[in-house]
């Protein structure tokens, strides 16, 4: 296109573009991925330090609470006993002051926790934004072969599911880890101040808890992985069935589709049930072990109180501390699963960001003059998608400025491959392609491609108005220029008959206009772009013969003075081409103009006469 496109709307694909939402898998390199993730979020270390300070501050105020409440209970108990024995009264003023101080402690703790959560939410969303930005920029640098070998759903999963998992889990896990560690340390200190003996008894339950948690995590993790996998599979099936429901109905595949969905759904149910059931055992086990600790603390505490070693309020405070001590341990256990999921998602994202990119521009040359950008030379080109299996062998061609080159041949002959090489979607295995006298590998890909206008057989339209879709060819174009391009493409007339004309909004699949009308809109977009070199890949395949004749006239005006490459199956549309390349099994078997090729009575003549005979029939 003639201008750089910033943040273009996402294209709407048709049926059969692969599953949506491939799942996260268990991280193969947990430590390595964790280091990368920590390095990735290093830009937010100061914000995380602030969060940690607020978390520690909130924990300190919260941990102090049970002791203060215990002091109130002790004051109440001593006053009551004094009243019973007739030696004094309950000091309600002192109790009130203690409770007010307790309210202050919890109020400050809540405020600090609120600030901590607000900052952490911003950090997690910033991390998610950065991941999506990096992935989006990475996509623009990826070679075409990656997208032809990777499903759309898998890529979308990395942008949506995996990044969401990372963002949400980072938000929760960092807060839980900081708060839990601070709570454990603070509670342990307070418990030791009350009674080292009871603290020892409470700590004895930790190894038992750790063993049980490890057992649950070990056996539940594999089911969580299966659950994520089948969740991705079922999302992919739903996406494919939804986008291709017309094809499914046309071929009476409803029953098979339902069976396939039911099979995957059963596997999802099985894995979800097992993962949730086993992980759900964690809390009952923790409560059981915790209750054993409470019983032991209550018995020992009663004995110590009778002996006068500690106050009755201390027992109440200690029991609350025991609960506060086991709770963060439970939370950390839950974070272990969360960290596994985060590492798995991050590993997939980092793997994508580390994928091979298109060769970087080395600064050898820039596009010097667009007026000279229409001289194209293919020199001894060899290419194969698999280097060991060439599909284009020793192809050479010189295209002069302003020539129209038609590429014809049966399906799979390599016609579109020639175009992909010209635009550097792929690089040649050997030989070279030259534009403006320079090897195209010396140009920056973006600058090179800005000089090509393309109209493909598969229409590419996005959700937006018709005006916006045509203007995609040149974002700075005025409404008058857009309308002029539509008129040149013979699209203006049908656009004016639509309910809102140029302001009519196309839906997600652009199914509210016909296939032929879609093609006219893409042609108008190419006309508006006004590029030096044109590539037309079956550009009129979806329009009727009468409209095709009119478009051909418009295209003839557009191609005047420009080099153009036209891929066509209907040979009647390229009879006026300056050069016709006839491809067969990846080789150029014939080349010349229409009349010369017919006189040669070769493969082109065979193709042409076969179409003529079919038309006559």
- 593-617 confidence digits (pLDDT tens): 888 888 888 888 888 888 765 444 4
CB 524 within 8 A of CB 455: no
State yes or no: pLDDT of 367 exceeds 60: no
Q: Which residues neighbour 229 within 8 Å (Cβ) at sequence distance 6 or greater?
A: 23, 25, 271
Q: Are 167 and 125 in contact (CB under 8 A)?
A: yes
| 86-122 per-position pLDDT tens digit | 777 878 888 888 889 888 888 888 898 888 888 888 8
Alpha-carbon radius of gyration of the chain: 36
Least confident residue range of 325-334, 391-400, 550-559: 550-559
The C-alpha atoms of residue 500 and residue 439 are separated, in whole angstroms, by 47
Residues facing residue 392 across a β-bridge: 383
Task: Select from 516, 515, 482 the least CA-distant residue to 501.
Answer: 482
Query: What percentage of the chain carries pLDDT values higher than 90?
Result: 3
8-state DSSP, 500: T
pLDDT value for 364: 44
CA distance 509 to 288: 56
Q: Taking 60 as the threshold, does the pLDDT of residue 11 lie above it?
A: no
pLDDT above 70 (res 4)? no
pLDDT tens by residue, 478-524: 999 999 989 888 889 889 988 889 999 888 777 788 877 888 888 88
Residues 428-454 pLDDT 10s: 888 899 888 888 888 887 778 888 888
What is residue 468's predicted lDDT score, i.e. its pLDDT?
92
The pLDDT-based confidence of 9 (bands split at 50, 70, 90) is very low
Rounded Cα distance between 486 and 506, Å, is 16
H or E stretch including 237? helix 196-243
Q: What is the mean pLDDT of the chain?
A: 78
Q: Please report, for the chain, the start and end positions of each structural domain, with discontinuous segments joined by +.
A: 30-194+337-358, 196-309, 402-426+444-612
pLDDT at 284: 79
CATH number corresponding to 30-194+337-358: 1.20.1560.10
HEC-encoded secondary structure of 181-221: HHHHHHHHHHHHHHCHHHHHHHHHHHHHHHHHHHHHHHHHH
Within 8 A by CB and 6+ apart from 341, the residues are: 24, 165, 169, 224, 228
CATH says 402-426+444-612 is which class?
A: alpha beta
Whether pLDDT at 153 is above 90: no
**pTM, entire model:** 0.62
**How many CA within 13 A on the CB side of residue 132?**
18
Which DSSP helix (H) or strand (E) runs through 465?
strand 464-465
Helix (H) or strand (E) holding 156: helix 152-157
Whether the per-residue pLDDT at 1 is higher than 50: the answer is no
Residues 6+ apart with CB under 8 A from 221: 26, 337, 340
pLDDT tens-place string over residues 530-572: 888 888 887 666 667 776 776 677 677 667 677 888 887 777 7
Name the packing angle between helices 515-529 and 545-559 (round to 10°): 10
Looking at residue 10, what is its pLDDT? 37
What is the share, in percent, of the chain residues with pLDDT greater than 70?
A: 88
């Amino acid at each position: 296109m003639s201008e750089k496109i910033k943040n273009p709307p996402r294209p709407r694909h048709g049926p059969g573009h692969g599953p949506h939402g491939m799942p996260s898998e268990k991280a193969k390199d947990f430590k390595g991925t964790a280091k990368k993730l920590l390095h990735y979020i290093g830009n937010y270390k100061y914000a995380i330090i602030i969060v940690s300070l607020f978390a520690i501050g909130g924990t300190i105020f919260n941990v102090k609470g049970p002791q203060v409440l215990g002091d109130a209970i002790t004051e109440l108990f001593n006053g009551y006993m004094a009243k019973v024995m007739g030696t004094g009264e309950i000091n309600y003023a002192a109790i009130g002051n203690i409770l007010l101080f307790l309210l202050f402690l919890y109020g400050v703790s809540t405020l600090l926790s609120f600030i901590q959560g607000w900052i952490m939410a911003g950090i997690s969303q910033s991390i998610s934004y950065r991941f999506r930005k990096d992935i989006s920029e990475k996509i623009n640098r990826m070679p075409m072969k990656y997208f032809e070998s990777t499903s759309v759903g898998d890529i979308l999963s990395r942008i949506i599911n995996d990044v969401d998992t990372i963002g949400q889990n980072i938000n929760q896990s960092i807060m839980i880890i900081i708060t839990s560690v601070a709570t454990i340390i603070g509670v342990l200190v307070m418990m030791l101040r009350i009674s080292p003996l009871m603290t020892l008894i409470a700590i004895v339950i930790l190894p038992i808890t750790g063993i049980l948690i490890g057992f649950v995590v070990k056996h539940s993790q594999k089911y969580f992985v299966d659950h994520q996998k089948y969740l991705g599979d079922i999302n992919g099936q739903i996406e494919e069935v939804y986008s291709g429901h017309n094809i499914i109905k046309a071929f009476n595949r409803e029953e098979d589709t339902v069976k396939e969905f039911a099979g995957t759904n059963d596997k999802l149910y099985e894995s979800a049930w097992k993962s949730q059931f086993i992980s759900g055992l964690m809390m009952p086990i923790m409560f059981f072990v915790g209750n054993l600790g409470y019983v032991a603390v209550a018995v020992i505490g009663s004995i110590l109180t009778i002996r006068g070693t500690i106050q009755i309020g201390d027992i109440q405070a200690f029991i609350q501390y025991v609960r506060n001590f086991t709770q963060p341990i439970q939370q950390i256990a839950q974070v272990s699963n969360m960290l596994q999921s985060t590492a798995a998602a991050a590993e997939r994202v980092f793997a994508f960001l580390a994928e091979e990119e298109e060769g970087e521009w080395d600064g050898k040359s820039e596009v010097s003059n667009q007026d000279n950008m229409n001289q194209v030379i293919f020199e001894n080109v060899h290419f194969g998608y698999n280097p060991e299996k060439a599909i284009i062998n020793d192809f050479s061609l010189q295209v002069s400025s302003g020539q129209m080159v038609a590429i014809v041949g049966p399906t799979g002959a390599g016609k579109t491959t020639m175009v992909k090489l010209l635009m550097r979607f792929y690089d040649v295995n050997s030989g070279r392609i030259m534009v403006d006298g320079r090897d195209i590998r010396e140009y920056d890909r973006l600058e090179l491609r800005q000089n090509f206008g393309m109209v493909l057989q598969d229409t590419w339209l996005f959700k937006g108005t018709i005006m916006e879709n045509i203007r995609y060819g040149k974002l700075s174009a005025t409404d008058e220029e857009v309308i002029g391009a539509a008129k040149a493409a013979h699209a203006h007339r049908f656009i004016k008959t639509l309910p809102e004309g140029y302001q009519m909004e196309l839906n997600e699949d652009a199914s509210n206009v016909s296939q032929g009308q879609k093609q006219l809109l893409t042609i108008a977009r190419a006309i508006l772009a006004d590029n030096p070199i044109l590539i037309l890949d079956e550009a009129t395949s979806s329009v009727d013969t009468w409209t095709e004749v009119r478009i051909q006239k418009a295209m003839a005006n557009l191609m005047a003075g420009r080099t153009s490459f036209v891929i066509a199956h209907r040979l009647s549309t390229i009879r006026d081409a300056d050069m016709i390349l006839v491809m067969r099994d990846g080789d150029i078997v014939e080349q010349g103009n229409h009349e010369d090729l017919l006189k040669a009575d070769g493969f082109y003549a065979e193709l042409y006469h076969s179409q003529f005979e079919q038309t006559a029939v």
